Structure formats: C-alpha cells, structure tokens
Amino acid sequence: MTVTMEPSWHEQLQEEFSKPYFQNLVDFVKSEYQKHSCYPPGKKIFSAFDHTPFNEVKVVIIGQDPYHGPGQAHGLCFSVPEGVPQPPSLLNIFQELCNDLGIPIPKSGNLERWADQGILLLNATLTVRAHQAGSHQNKGWELFTDAAIAKLSSEREGLIFLLWGGYAKRKGDKIDRSKHLVLSSGHPSPLSANRGLWFGNKHFSKINAYLHEQGAKEIVW
C-alpha cells in the first residue's frame, strides 16, 4: 500500500508514516488485499482526506468501519457510491435531515458532495475484509485516525465534531471543547434510532447555525 494522500494531510500526518505501528499496518493491509477481497478499493482508502484538505475541514463526522458488502465502501464514512442502495444508517441520517431542515431524502447515497464542502467523513478503521465487519480493527488504523483528529483539534479552531454513538464519543474524548463545537447523539443505526437516541438531534441545523455565527459558508445538504 503506497501512502498517496492529499498534500496538506500528508504533511500533517507524515510523522505517523515512519512509526513502527504504521509500518506494521501497511504490511497487514497489503497482505489482506492480496489474499482476500477487501474494501474500499485500494485507491479509495484515503478518500476522506483527499476530498477534504486539512485547512478546508469545517465538520468532522466520525464513523467506525467501512461497509463490508460488495460495492458499498468508497472511503467516506456512511457514504455509498452512486447507484448503490442506501444502508439503514444512511437512510436514518437522511430522515433526520428531512425532519430537521425539510430537505427531501436524496436518491443518491454518495456523500462526496458533503466532503467537498468541508465535511471530513472519517472512519476510525479505513479498511475491512469482505463480509467480515471489524476484521481490520486493532491493527493500527485507530492510532492513525486518532492522530488525524488530534491534529485537527490542536491546529484548527472552530470546527464541529459529530460524535454519533458510543464508539465515536469515546474516540472524540480528547477533542478540545474550548476551541471546537462537539455535538453528540445516539448512532443513526436502526437499533439506536428506534430507541429514540437519534431522531430529533437537529445536528444539521445546529451545524449551519454555528457556521453562520462564524461568518463561514453554510453546508448545502
């Protein structure tokens, strides 16, 4: 796996590339992609960074694992490529968006349009073996994505971090809340949403209200 990444992120994270854990991670991922079907495609592993340069990040959504079904994962958390049916969590995200801002549920589940407006759609683990959820966890990705979040927390100001569900909340523990807005809720998965922990969080209107207060361009959802 060659680490080719958007230049500003490459500069911010270059210290990580020489650390032993990352070298071990590269070896692991190379082996997995050679021996098994893995997602996302190799060129899409760092898509979240490629779509949203470091200094253009406005919002960070922290996911956990890439989708592990064929054709679903393309490097952006919760997102699926054009023409791929929307998974349940994404449908609930769109339903809350509709409830919050009256925006009709989109036909496409491709969130590149969000990423290109400054929303970093970052999974904690960037790869997965086909049909085996969590199969690439605890191999080093979490350390790498923790480093990315730490850089944003320390080097930027006025960002909005969305922590949806217990995993994201734990991963966002060290975000500097004196410099950034942190919005938390239950996860959009049906298990959480159907227990009343997701719907009604109004995160999408809160994001745009915060951006408006800062004089920043609001997100076109």
Query: Who's near 209: CB < 8 A, 6+ residues apart?
Result: none
Report the candidate in 115, 29, 128, 134 with the shortest Cα–Cα distance to residue 76: 115
Answer yes or no: are the C-beta atoms of 105 and 94 closer than 8 Å: yes
Catalytic (active site) residue 65: yes
Contact 81, 73 (CB under 8 A): no
CA distance to 25, 163, 173, 176, per residue, from 182 (Å): 30, 7, 10, 9
In the set 50, 65, 116, 146, the catalytic residue is 65
Indicate which residues carry an active-site annotation: 65
